[in-house]
Chains A and B, each alone.
Chain A
């Protein structure tokens, strides 16, 4: 009996192995079929895209892949010539399942497939481990969506992103508070987490440099629900504005308790509290609260309306979030290849750093770390029980042409 079970188990494992092996082999033949009928002088340039295509975040991952696909089709339709030779672009899409371990496997697979460049990954947790593999293989990587500052701090020449990172949110919020809200005295609260405290510290530094007075710096935790004591203390200091670095389960009751204590000044925070849940928790008190999210609202992007229509026509679906970033990432690669006259990563990689491209999401340029300079951040405000886009702030306000030269210097100071 035991023996039979053993045999069954072995058989099951063998079948599984065979299936996985088949799965691995099934992908590569497709591209071969595609380039077989082409004339030999048309060179094929492969662009990889890695994002979660299955699981809970699949809708966002597929959105990114669709953006890349659209860009490649558009480029092929217009005709791309690199170094005087016509080339055909081809997409290699991989599923990283939003899983850091799977992300490295997928990255190696893309490197082995000799892709010229990669758009991905979606999650910071996936982009960061994968970035080492791309760096070792010398393949440039543009993440359309990863906002963790660490992603570009590994010192790799190959990592870029086309979205503002978390470290840019705090200073931008700070500038918004000073310039637009004219706040002179500010109280700052954080939830003692890496995200909340980081955001609050960046905000605090920016408003102090800007000449505002920090009247109170208070802390709570990401488990607490009673903020009356610290809010009462803040009330006694009479600030013009209260900033909270944290997420909605605290921000909601906090805003409600502010109203109960008769604190009339607005509350401002980061993307962690720009959620419908915040409004639900704070109730009517949520009105007038401001919070930021990196990026532009999709219908406000320079190429937004056109892109949304094109996307809808092609995929019969609405853009979720990051398809425009995926689209632009491909275009940035193509532009760099054109300027370098080569699709060899070693040759066109230096050109990516010099990018000055007007994409769907707006002007794209990178600093020396590979972060988007002038990455826009949109401030939303609660109006009539809904988050509404109030204003978009770019870290360095000014025309993109003039700011290009000084942008990296500025970013380095931060």
Chain B
């Protein structure tokens, strides 16, 4: 039983990181109907910027200060990058056929990856353990304080985002733009600004997710955004792309599916589908969702908008 509980906890933690990244996909899709494939790479840049800051400062400052500085630097760089990408690559294509921005997004993703390879090199960058985590015993399962902190922070960010979109003026403008950009524009909403803001918000949440990944796993490299982005995209589709609570649910579910599949499928199928198929389950789920419920678990049939 404690093993099962442990797998659930593993899945939730992994899922909370997927969920944070998935938010970036889903917010941009909600407003622009664009799948921003470069988002995973923005997360990668956030992770590597944090790596650079932490490596440079090392033990010269107290650990919380270093972490705050690293997170701040990652957010600043990612927000600037997100805005530049939006301005340079997507805004000129806003009224182009939908395929054009999609292909552009893939191009931007590759551009960011190889620019990062130029800056940080192609090797794995490793980070020494700067926080010594404590152990928390939880009904026979073990988690570390770092994991608990990451999970709580991720949940707090998601809650704050939900509140922000529901209650703030900018959030209302985002929802209006999502429903109908033209009418929102007529009502006095500066849609261009709202779209830029959405990119910046997604990028900053992605930056925080990147810092979490680099801190928890202790390493990063220029290609790390690819798989993470793909999983997060799957999570967003699973929950219903364009739907913010859906992305959160999708992320957590995907983490659970991966964890339980890797943990039990091998034994259930007598070793035919072992842990080597772990990543496959995520995409089997993606295919099934697209076939059976194209709008996702929490998505409302949005029809063909835009």
Contact = CB atoms under 8 A, between A and B. Distances in A.
B126 A262 contact: no
Interface in A192-238: 192, 217-221, 223, 225-226, 228-230, 232-233, 235-236
Contact of A260 (B3, B133, B213): B133
B219 A260 contact: no
B132 interface: yes
B46 to A, nearest CB: 16
Interface residues of A, number: 28
A262 B142 contact: yes
Contacts of B144: 260
Contacts of B142: 260-262
Contact of A223 (B128, B147, B223): B223
Contact of A249 (B6, B11, B124): B124
B149 to A, nearest CB: 13
Contacts of B213: 225
Interface in B1-37: 3, 6-7, 10-11, 13-14
Interface in A50-95: none
Given A218-B275, A249-B124, A252-B218, A230 B262 contact: yes
Contact-residue bracket for chain B? 35 or more
Interface string A143-167: 0000000000000000000000000
Nearest to B213: A225
Contacts of A280: 126, 128
A144 B259 CA distance: 45
B219 A249 contact: yes
Nearest to B260: A229
Nearest to A197: B276
Contact of B3 (A220, A236, A252, A253): A236
Nearest to B130: A283
The 4 closest A-B pairs by CB, nearest first: A283-B129, A219-B276, A229-B262, A236-B3
Interface of B: 3, 6-7, 10-11, 13-14, 124, 126, 128-129, 132-133, 135, 142-144, 147, 213, 217-219, 223-224, 227, 258-264, 266, 271, 274-276, 278-279
9 contacts: A218-B266, A229-B259, A229-B278, A232-B7, A233-B264, A236-B3, A249-B126, A253-B219, A262-B142
